[in-house]
Structure 1
Amino acid sequence: MDKDNVKRFDVAIIGGGPAGLNAALVLGRARRSVVVIDEGKPRNRVTRETHGFVTRDGISPGEFRAVAIEQIRAYPAVTFAPDTATEVSGADGAFRIVTAGGEAYEAKKLLFAVGKKDGPLNIDGLAEVYGRSAFVCPYCDGWELRDQPLVVIVSGEGAMHMAKTLAGWTSRYAICTNGPDGLTDEQREELAKRHIPLFDAPIERIESKEGIVEHVVLQDGQRVACSGIFFAPTLQAGSDLPRSLGCELTEAGSLVINEFGGTNVPGVFGAGDAASIKYQAVMAAAMGSLAAVGINMELLQEAWDKA
């Protein structure tokens, strides 16, 4: 590739969700040249609304991104590249990113805001209700399902956590563990004491109408009526590029970062769902802001030391 065609920036942000966009906003206002490389396939695109984000409550993910990009365009040093980053190489001060579209970028600092990706939804009928009446976070979507009959699909300690959490929104819910429940006798007694039904038969399918769940059908023939579902998704790292650079990851596939988003690889930062298990838009945006400050601080210090 002709080196003269390489576009050079202070910072390359891979991922254009709340974390990447907020980082771009802060860096743009700090007068940094930034490229945001994003394929336009966020994990939350299946949902209708974003919640828990003050001034943005109820906005659709698509509108959220459109408003953010419009506001960021007020800072001309920020460039948006609708593309997929496929290769990353180099080191602090001279990273190189190549995209599926054949573009090449160089940047002094690199921010991974690549989020997470859903693994296969291995329950028949779950894909049809995901984002419409089946969700993963009560803090994001519990209000809309308040006081309704719900099913929680999760086992083990996750079942106990969700049982306690969901009680803030409704008292009408059952737990379907889709196989062995992974609970202790004491935990089962806790659920029974609170009249929380527990079903450990594998799930046959989810029945719904126009995206609204009606029954969770178990392989033993039982049908659990409900109008909403919360479930524990199987998540994967949003990209293998951080690993290719040697970034440290947790068992859950999250980047290990410091308070300003820095990873173990000098010049490489992480933010949002890529570096957290708290999957809320407002938290991702806040992490993006902190990472942007961390990146700008490093660039300022480097310039200061060279003077």
Structure 2
Amino acid sequence: MKEQEAHSPAEGRSFEAVIVGGSYAGLSAAMALGRALRKVLIIDSALPCNRQTPHSHNFITHDGEKPGAIAEKARAQVLKYDTVTFRRDEVVGGTKSMGGFELTTRSGATFNAEKLIFATGIKDTMPAIKGFAACWGISVIHCPYCHGYEYRGQNTGIMANGEKALHLASLVNNLTGKITILTSGQPDFSSGQLEKLDSRGIQVVSTPVSEIEHDGGHVRSVVFEDGRKMELDAVYAAIPFTQHSDLPFLLGCELTEHGRIKVDAGQKTTVNGIFACGDNSSPMRSVASAVSTGNIAGAMLNHGLTMERF
């Protein structure tokens, strides 16, 4: 693997593109750029949001593979391109410069980039429920497309309220007839919505959940604050998130009202020369989506360089 040294000479610190984040989106962008012979540096801190997830699904040719195995294979393929370098580090600072951008890493290295791609992902904010974090990505899940088939026909909880709960229930209803919505507080549904849920046999429980009992991340039951238990096999949870890195914001990139980096159809942010791809800028949280947006970001960055120089 081509590793960039922390104290490399000046000519080894300047790149046409630096990609911050080396998971699926970042590696996909790097492949597009490597095939265009662009000098690229990928900087990755090894903290993917799906690091607890045992298997990846709904990604054709990779269905059922371990997420880490997909990333490892992708990294090996990308680094066969001579102009692409990978560095295990964390970007902690960045400024605009005459030639583009200057980045600083936790190890103290600095790098110059004509253009940037942020493939930094997001951080899920775990609720203060015992056992929740240990089950996240295993049997406490966020996406019916990524995980729902594996829990088809099983006792399923939906830890959400209002429109989010209804949206998840509508999708999960096709996978199992054993659904309970766990609002952990006053239900936020209209009378018509409650009638719809009732007609489909979907129970609503408002008592707050205090614990998720599990076996190695596999849900066995939820425990309510009043001591009651409910046996469940899986729980969908709509939880808040924050950007994994605040550097895009500090460099001037605008966020959407939902907290994602604002991009156009070509993955361009609102700052000239900066692109974003993957979970940080898309509500579609899947490996397939990350690869797709990364490929677009790499191609559009290369297009920008081409138009500036041709």
TM-score (norm 1): 0.95
- 1:159 corresponds to: 165
- 2:4 corresponds to: none
- 1:143 corresponds to: 149
Q: CA deviation at 1:6?
A: 6.1
| Contact kept? 2:253, 2:269, Cα under 8 Å | yes
| Contact kept? 1:179, 1:200, Cα under 8 Å | yes
Matched AA of 1:129: C
Q: Does residue 171 in structure 1 map to residue 177 in structure 2?
A: yes
| Contact kept? 1:116, 1:235, Cα under 8 Å | yes
Matched AA of 2:202: I
| Contact kept? 2:126, 2:132, Cα under 8 Å | no
Tell me which moved more, 120-129 or 159-168: 120-129
Could you list the per-position Cα deviations for residues 12-44 of structure 1 after superposition, in whole angstroms to 9, with x for gaps in the alignment? 000111110100011000110100010011001
- 1:118 corresponds to: 124
Q: CA deviation at 1:120?
A: 2.9
| CA distance in structure 2 between the aligned counterparts of 1:120 and 1:91, rounded to whole angstroms | 37
- 2:59 corresponds to: 53
- 1:266 corresponds to: 272
Q: Which runs of 5+ in 1 are unaligned?
A: none
Does the residue aligned with 1:142 lie in a helix, a strand or coil? helix
| CA distance in structure 2 between the aligned counterparts of 1:133 and 1:52, rounded to whole angstroms | 17
Q: CA deviation at 1:246?
A: 0.6
Aligned mate of 1:74, from 59, 76, 80: 80
- 1:34 corresponds to: 40
Aligned mate of 1:90, from 92, 96, 99: 96
Distance of aligned partners of 1:2 and 1:48 in 2 relative to their CA distance in 1, 3 Å threshold:
closer
Matched AA of 1:191: L
Q: CA deviation at 1:227?
A: 1.0
Aligned mate of 2:255, from 237, 244, 249: 249
Q: Which runs of 5+ in 2 are unaligned?
A: 1-6
| CA distance in structure 1 between the aligned counterparts of 2:100 and 2:49, rounded to whole angstroms | 30
- 1:24 corresponds to: 30
Q: CA deviation at 1:91?
A: 4.8
Q: CA deviation at 1:233?
A: 2.1
| Contact kept? 1:6, 1:103, Cα under 8 Å | no
Does the residue aligned with 1:45 lie in a helix, a strand or coil? coil
Q: Does residue 300 in structure 1 map to residue 306 in structure 2?
A: yes
- 2:107 corresponds to: 101
Q: CA deviation at 1:167?
A: 1.1
Aligned mate of 2:223, from 217, 222, 245: 217
Tell me which moved more, 18-27 or 115-124: 115-124
Q: How many residues align?
A: 304
Matched AA of 2:56: T
| CA distance in structure 2 between the aligned counterparts of 1:34 and 1:195, rounded to whole angstroms | 54
| Contact kept? 1:93, 1:267, Cα under 8 Å | no
Q: Does residue 279 in structure 1 map to residue 285 in structure 2?
A: yes
Could you list the per-position Cα deviations for residues 135-167 of structure 1 after superposition, in whole angstroms to 9, with x for gaps in the alignment? 111100011111111111011101111110101
Q: Does residue 187 in structure 1 map to residue 193 in structure 2?
A: yes
Does the residue aligned with 2:50 lie in a helix, a strand or coil? helix
- 1:8 corresponds to: 14
Q: CA deviation at 1:5?
A: 7.1
Does the residue aligned with 1:23 lie in a helix, a strand or coil? helix
Give identity over the alignment, percent.
36
